[in-house]
Amino acid sequence: MQDRSQFYIGGQWVAPASAERLAVENPATEEVIAEITLASRDDVNAAVAAAKAAGPGWAATPVAARIAILKRLLSVTEARLDDLAAVISAEMGAPISMARADQASVGTGHLEGFLEALETYQWSEALPNGDTVVKEPVGVCALVTPWNWPLNQITLKVLPALAAGCTCVLKPSELTPLSAMLYAELLAEAGVPAGVFNLINGTGPVAGATLSRHPDVRLISFTGSTRAGVEVTQAAAPSVKRVALELGGKSPNLIFADCGDALEERVRASVAECFHNTGQSCDAPTRMLVEASVYDRVCDIAQAEAEATQVGDPSLPGDHLGPLASGVQWQRVQGHIACAIEDRARLLAGGEGIPDGQERGHFARPTVFADVTQEMAIWREEVFGPVLAITPFADEAEAITLANDTDYGLAAYVQTGDRARALRLCGALRAGMVHVNGQGMGWGSPFGGYGLSGKGREGGAHGLDEFVEIKTLSLPEEWR
């Protein structure tokens, strides 16, 4: 078992003030793999103080020098991708092949996206009226990240903060702290100055709330549940700090009969996308809306794909699902499945309990429900597990109505053979991102959503915008 009880504050690993410890579990084996410290308010204050002290020097560092550090970080990260994948697989259960290809690779992908954006990012702009607009760092930033895509959210927050000239305090999820602590080592190796980046571990009610309320924190960027995002916003309000939120989703996936010969391929890929990362993705296409004329066929395909989906040991290579990230999450997913059965959704595959052959670990059965209606909880509530809900629609107008019948608005997915229809739907769907026929987003594109899915965007130039203040300079004409 690793002893990871220290925090990274002021450029060094330091003993915390808190004596409260927490075991970190491997969700596949339920074995304790490390022990961390849960930060007290004194620990949070120390980290913020270090970030505040380093702020003026880092803000004054030329942009070119900050970019040079990020380029060194790219090389350092590329050299440690296998280490990052191994840590993420152990702490949250991502299968090692997927952890390397998807979970760890974001460390370089998002960095490349930010570096490309920085090539043309406008730090100042002359307006036609003679004024000049400049962008300056917000200041000390608190970055609170989740357990489901740990490195993804860390890089989407830490990298733009550093690029913008901000200093920061990172509080990763206490379920997945080890990848964050490894990333702190990479940042130090790349040459990030002392105090610019700081890391503490802790819970939301103590560490997260203290960061949200702290008067020296000028921005809090939070990724997690909508409930917790509301609490962060309320805690931040008295100090009028900026709040950026990336929250939950219940994303629709519209499947039309005009897919033609590609229908089976698109449905199978859609089920796999829903189950990716064991369903623990906020933008997962969990509501499959299907044109009535192909509804029965799509249900059969989805059932077959779910039944063919393998669940197994995440330490082994291959294309299979790992466990849910914790016992608490497993119980939540079981509750959603039981509720859908009670609501009389038609169970096509999976269901309650653990998959056959699994004797330990937080594994869930890949599950598909059909005939899901708008009155059912499974229609509205984010499950965050490998659970798909299928609903028929009569025509395009009803498909749009059903798709937009959600308080969330993170992503939407469209499967069609008609380009004009796809473009109509891109305009009609209330979501921050629309994926057509399985097309993924490129590095540097803005990630974020409407409604209860949050506010603000992450990635590329739009992600940089979250970490800057806008200042207008009005100078005499002869001084411009």
pLDDT at 164: 98
Q: Which domains does the chain have, with CATH numbers?
A: 2-248+451-473 (3.40.605.10), 252-430 (3.40.309.10)
Per-residue pLDDT tens for 175-184?
999 999 999 9
**pLDDT tens per residue across span 204-240:** 999 999 999 999 999 999 999 999 999 999 999 999 9
The pLDDT tens digits of the residues spanning 85-130 come to 999 999 999 999 999 999 999 999 999 999 999 999 999 999 999 9
Per-residue pLDDT tens over the stretch 30-55: 999 999 999 999 999 999 999 999 99
Catalytic residues: 246
Tell me, letter by letter, the H, E, C secondary structure of the chain: CEEECCEEECCEEECCCCCCEEEEEECCCCEEEEEEECCCHHHHHHHHHHHHHHHHHHHHCCHHHHHHHHHHHHHHHHHCHHHHHHHHHHHHCCCHHHHHHHHHCHHHHHHHHHHHHHHHCCCEEECCCCCEEEEEECCEEEEECCCCCHHHHHHHHHHHHHHHCCEEEEECCCCCCHHHHHHHHHHHHHCCCCCCEEECCCCHHHHHHHHHHCCCCCEEEEECCHHHHHHHHHHHHHHCCEEEEECCCCCEEEECHHHHHHHHHHHHHHHHHHHHHHHCCCCCCCEEEEEHHHHHHHHHHHHHHHHHCCECCCCCCCCCECCCCCHHHHHHHHHHHHHHHHCCCEEEECCCCCCCCCCCCCCCCCEEEECCCCCCHHHHCCCCCCEEEEEEECCHHHHHHHHCCCCCCCEEEEECCCHHHHHHHHHHCCCCEEEECCCCCCCCCCECCCHHHEECCECHHHHHHCCEEEEEECCCHHHC
- Give yes or no for residue 480 having a pLDDT over 90: no
Q: Band of the pLDDT at 1, cuts 50, 70, 90?
A: confident
Predicted confidence at residue 80, as pLDDT, reads 97
Task: Share the mean pLDDT of the chain.
Answer: 97
Instruction: Give the model confidence (pLDDT) of 275-321 as tens digits.
Output: 999 999 999 999 999 999 999 999 999 999 999 999 999 999 999 99
pLDDT of 260 over the 90 cut: yes
The 10s digit of each residue's pLDDT in 407-439 is 999 999 999 999 999 999 999 999 999 999 999
- Residues 6 or more apart whose CB falls under 8 angstroms from that of 282 comprise 148, 246, 247, 248, 249, 382, 384, 410, 453
